[in-house]
Structure 1
Amino acid sequence: MNYTGWIIINGSIATDKFLDYANMIAEAAEKQNIQTVCLKNDAVLTLLCPKNGMVSSIANNDKLPDFAFFIDKDIYIARQLEQLGVRVFNSSRTIEISDDKIYTYQMLSEQQIPIPETIIAPKKYHAGDLPPAYIQKVTESLGIPLIVKEAFGSFGEQVHFISNHEELTKIIPLMEQRPFVFQRYIEESKGRDIRVQVVGEKAVTAVERQNNKDFRANVTNGGKMLPFALDDKTEKLAVNAAKAIGADFAGVDLLFGSNEELLVCEINANAHIRNLYECTGINAADDMVTYIKKELS
């Protein structure tokens, strides 16, 4: 059967990096005789009209594809496509969980998957500090230094290293009404982590990221990548983490804990794969398309 698919990116950030990811998926699909078209989310017009049943007016002559591959976080369009019977990779629920780090940690904790000790900050309706007694309990539980991490953000930009009590009391009002967590700082993993690319039930490749200038290992913050040899323990943890949020594929970030323990730091439902390919020579796009084809058959 000849399948058709949409590769959806965000129209407001259609940079070369996102277009390159879309092209990698499109090229992998072409090799497996799957026709795809790349669409910006602002090229997809959805109409909700309960009086006449659910109607969707969509680009590409209103013809729906067999599947949609999302390189975006527009969960509303993803959900709309699902309601119209289109198989979405990853699902709208997975995108929603992955985009919200608090939701992610709750799902991981529910499945008993190891994460750094984490405290969810109470919801605030205005900017301001938290009660001193609450802050005291946080520092007694997690110690200092610690990490303050916003629920929403990318490339490590909303992750803050807090070295003392004064910095902690200063940053909390700056969070304003944004949700965030307090998290134990994992000294053993300073400037280093593992990125594992998971596709379905297997890990297809992995790299170790190292950064000697920043506590975050992200390449965008100056880190470098080295091929990482996967073992059964690492693969099992990464696959189980992806399963916990219902991901078809994901970039799972692991921290080096004490006593050789690995901890799940984050799960990226639309992780870019170019750097992995250049570092390891493994093109995860081929595995993703093979997985999609199997799921559709």
Structure 2
Amino acid sequence: MKSSSLHCWIVVNGYLQHDKFSSLALFLQASAVRKGISADLIRNSNLIPVIENGTPLLKGTFEKLPDFVLFMDKDIHLARHLELLGLPVYNSSTAIEVCDSKAKTHQALANHGIPMPKTLFPPFTYEGIERKNLDAFKKIGSELGYPLVVKEAYGSFGEQVYLIPSEHEFLEMVNKLGHRPFIMQEFIEHSKGRDIRVNVVGNQVIASMQRKSEHDFRANMTAGGEASSYTPTKEESDLAIRCAAILGVDFAGVDLLFGEDGPLLCEVNSNSHLLNIYECTGINIADSMFDYVMDDMRKRKES
């Protein structure tokens, strides 16, 4: 394939020493090469953002800055620093930051007519300051009913998500979480152990899969769920595309629940893991991501 003459960095976390993340990085790099893009895998730990005399600089083990960055990490400060240097970053630091927090995601999607589970936000406390009066949480439990779902604001692969059966266990969980940010939601019984992952690139659905678990209320594959290829309805596709557009993500894995009256937004993953859906559907979303980026880079050059 003729080279596009573009050079990119694929930024990954330097401290996640796990095969699944290494495999994803190589998967993305291989896709870039197929598209004729020169791609370097760069660990965030090898880049040091610097502000000197009010000017953003970047120190690290690299020869030159790239034409664009595919940012596959959640190092928000680094992503924003790269943008300060004038580099196009996909996804943007703002989009990654909003999607990284389940609390920020749901609030960003409010007032847009996005169907989602009823969501409540806990009273804030500081680190080391125990919530001794839990009356507010007793009211929250009455509002949502039991069982209810507690989700830590930051977490991946279905971890840090808890199904709480009673007030006693709810108050225990609140004390256990302490100052860590979390949200509380109604439990969607109709979607117990099943959900949909819809991968969106630009304003298009590229691939989808349904995940099911026979033994866990979470459908995530890391939690033991199994996946099968899935063709989303128009309503499901439109919802995923709308959520991605509102949050400003160039590409994302949008998770939907099966509500009794239609799909409900569960969460939006700006750094979606692409290997599971590739193995499930045979669709390489990375190819579509680089097609999107090359088209966007062309538009930037022409404007």
Name the TM-score class by shorter chain: over 0.9
Q: Secondary structure at the match of 1:45?
A: strand
Partner Cα separation in structure 1 for residue 237 and residue 195 of structure 2: 14
Q: 2:40 aligns with which of 37, 41, 59?
A: 37
Which residue of structure 2 lines up, in the alignment, with residue 229 of structure 1?
231
Partner Cα separation in structure 2 for residue 229 and residue 157 of structure 1: 26
Q: Secondary structure at the match of 1:169?
A: helix
Partner Cα separation in structure 2 for residue 17 and residue 233 of structure 1: 32
Q: 1:191 aligns with which of 183, 190, 193?
A: 193
Quick check: 13-22 or 124-133, which moved more? 124-133
Which residue of structure 2 lines up, in the alignment, with residue 8 of structure 1?
11
TM-score by length of 2: 0.94
Letter in 2 for 1:203: V
CA deviation string 1:141-179 (max 9, x = no partner): 211110111111111111111001111111110011111
Q: Secondary structure at the match of 2:248?
A: coil
> Is the 1:255–1:265 Cα contact (8 Å) retained in structure 2?
yes
2:220 counterpart of 1:218:
yes
Letter in 1 for 2:117: P
What's the CA shift for 1:132? 4.2
Partner Cα separation in structure 1 for residue 265 and residue 132 of structure 2: 28
What's the CA shift for 1:239? 0.8
> Is the 2:9–2:41 Cα contact (8 Å) retained in structure 1?
yes
What's the CA shift for 1:18? 1.1
Which residue of structure 2 lines up, in the alignment, with residue 25 of structure 1?
28
Partner Cα separation in structure 2 for residue 232 and residue 274 of structure 1: 25
2:288 counterpart of 1:266:
no
Partner Cα separation in structure 2 for residue 285 and residue 56 of structure 1: 27
> 1:23 and 1:258, CA in 2 relative to 1: closer, same or farther beyond 3 A?
same
Letter in 1 for 2:122: A
> Is the 1:109–1:115 Cα contact (8 Å) retained in structure 2?
no
Question: Mapping of 1:1-297 within 5 angstroms?
Answer: 1-51=4-54, 53-61=55-63, 63-125=64-126, 126-129=128-131, 131-259=133-261, 261-297=262-298
TM-score by length of 1: 0.96
Partner Cα separation in structure 2 for residue 141 and residue 97 of structure 1: 26
> Is the 2:102–2:154 Cα contact (8 Å) retained in structure 1?
yes
What's the CA shift for 1:130? 6.0
> Is the 2:6–2:38 Cα contact (8 Å) retained in structure 1?
yes
Partner Cα separation in structure 1 for residue 24 and residue 59 of structure 2: 26
Partner Cα separation in structure 1 for residue 185 and residue 233 of structure 2: 27
The Cα RMSD (Å) is 1.3
Partner Cα separation in structure 1 for residue 115 and residue 201 of structure 2: 20
Partner Cα separation in structure 2 for residue 43 and residue 56 of structure 1: 10
Q: Secondary structure at the match of 2:232?
A: coil
Letter in 2 for 1:71: M
Which residue of structure 1 lines up, in the alignment, with residue 301 of structure 2?
none
> Is the 2:208–2:277 Cα contact (8 Å) retained in structure 1?
yes
Partner Cα separation in structure 2 for residue 43 and residue 198 of structure 1: 30
Partner Cα separation in structure 1 for residue 57 and residue 165 of structure 2: 53
Partner Cα separation in structure 1 for residue 295 and residue 138 of structure 2: 52
What's the CA shift for 1:57? 2.2
CA deviation string 1:238-264 (max 9, x = no partner): 0111112110000000001113x1111
Structure 1 residue runs without a partner (length 5+): none
Q: Secondary structure at the match of 2:138?
A: helix
Letter in 1 for 2:238: K
Partner Cα separation in structure 2 for residue 54 and residue 71 of structure 1: 22
Letter in 2 for 1:223: G
What's the CA shift for 1:136? 3.0
Partner Cα separation in structure 2 for residue 220 and residue 54 of structure 1: 39
> Is the 1:127–1:174 Cα contact (8 Å) retained in structure 2?
no
Identity of aligned residues (%): 41
> 1:58 and 1:110, CA in 2 relative to 1: closer, same or farther beyond 3 A?
farther
